Structure 1
Amino acid sequence: MRDQGRTADVYHTLHLAPLQQAYERLTWNPAAPRADRIRIREHTCSHHAVSYEFCLGGGLAFIRRTYRSDGVVVHESEWLRIRDAERLWLRLLLGQAR
């Protein structure tokens, strides 16, 4: 039987690790429609001013960065082969890239 007041079963989302001292500085480009459909496979917590999404589209993958303050500003990493984008996503999550 499930505990009614328990929230440990709820998946919140991913959080970024603190930025490492020697991190890779990524090039962020303005968002541009390059595929008819984009699928978001993973995303970080949207409760922060900056959030990230791991996106798939047109047989490639990229990371979308969204700033929310007075308005919304969206940038994208370069579009990569899915395996290369997965490595980049992991480095971003671990604080090794931003």
Structure 2
Amino acid sequence: MGDCAAKRPGADIPLPPPYHGIHASPPRDGHKRINWMKPTNRSDRVRVRRHTCECKATIYELCAAGGLLFIRRTTRGKKVEIRETERLVATRMEELWVRLLSGEVH
């Protein structure tokens, strides 16, 4: 068997550099508004498929639950505010995700 540094006791395993994720672009002039709603908690399990970088006060997550997708927006500050979009089939929500990242919608 090959030698694996991870299996040797006391081996220094180098860690990957910190990941700096994608950022949503600022809203463009004439952008369309997303209807952000209070979370409904209608799913017992939600899987985050993609997310924006956590270095900003507002982060976005593309979430999957019950065969549908939605976007969750978390705004951090003195008070944390969470909002979600409606739930749509994958094709439509992935398109909205790309438009959000490009600043076409906000």
The normalised TM-score by structure 2 is 0.80
Q: Give the equivalent residue in structure 2 for 1:59.
A: 67
Q: Unaligned regions of 5+ residues in structure 2, if any?
A: 1-13
- Take 2:104 and 2:34, find their aligned partners in 1: how far apart are those partners? 10
Per the TM alignment, residue 22 of structure 1 is displaced from its structure 2 partner at its CA by 1.5
Amino acid at match of 2:65: G
Please identify which structure carries the higher strand content.
1
Q: CA RMSD in A?
A: 1.6
Number of residue pairs the alignment of both structures matches:
92
Residue 37 of structure 2 corresponds to residue 29 of structure 1: yes
Residue 68 of structure 2 corresponds to residue 68 of structure 1: no
Per the TM alignment, residue 18 of structure 1 is displaced from its structure 2 partner at its CA by 2.5
Q: Give the equivalent residue in structure 1 for 2:102.
A: 94
Amino acid at match of 1:14: I
Where 2:63 maps in the other structure, the secondary structure is strand
Runs of 4+ in 1 over 6 A off after TM superposition: none
Q: Unaligned regions of 5+ residues in structure 1, if any?
A: none
Q: Which has the larger radius of gyration?
A: 2
Q: Give the equivalent residue in structure 2 for 1:80.
A: 88
Where 1:20 maps in the other structure, the secondary structure is coil
- Take 2:47 and 2:21, find their aligned partners in 1: how far apart are those partners? 17
Amino acid at match of 2:47: R
Where 1:91 maps in the other structure, the secondary structure is helix
Aligned residues with identical type, % of pairs: 41
